[in-house]
Amino acid sequence: MLIASLTTFVAAAAVIGVIGYRVFRSEGRVERPPEAAVTLPAGAKVLSSAIGEGRVVLTVEVNGAIELLTFDLNTLKPLGRARLGR
């Protein structure tokens, strides 16, 4: 009974130690959002947005045509543009 109690205590202490280590170690690594602005074409209307794999994709309507604009998530630099439809 004594061995089981000591084993349980050591296991619980190890779990609490790991949690505490990760909380205090990650405290200073908060990343700031990029200070950049995305420039859209004049008269553009944003229809939707999606984020995934380090990219932001905006679906915009410009003069009746639908375009997909892709930006890098960290720097907000344009990566690509695709026009859909006619």
C-alpha span between 70 and 30 (Å, rounded):
25
Q: Specify the pTM.
A: 0.56
Provide the 3-class DSSP secondary structure of residue 34.
coil
- Backbone φ and ψ for 6, nearest 5 degrees, come out as -65, -40
In tens, the pLDDT along 60-70 reads 998 888 999 99
Provide the 3-class DSSP secondary structure of residue 13.
helix
C-alpha span between 79 and 58 (Å, rounded):
12
In tens, the pLDDT along 16-46 reads 998 888 877 765 555 666 576 777 878 889 9
Nearest by Cα to 81 from 42, 45, 41: 41
Residues 6 or more apart whose CB falls under 8 angstroms from that of 4 comprise none
Residue 50 has pLDDT above 90, yes or no: yes
What pLDDT score does 11 carry?
Answer: 93
DSSP 3: H
Average pLDDT across the chain, whole number: 85
Q: Please compute the mean of the pLDDT values over residues 41-54 and round it to a whole number.
A: 89
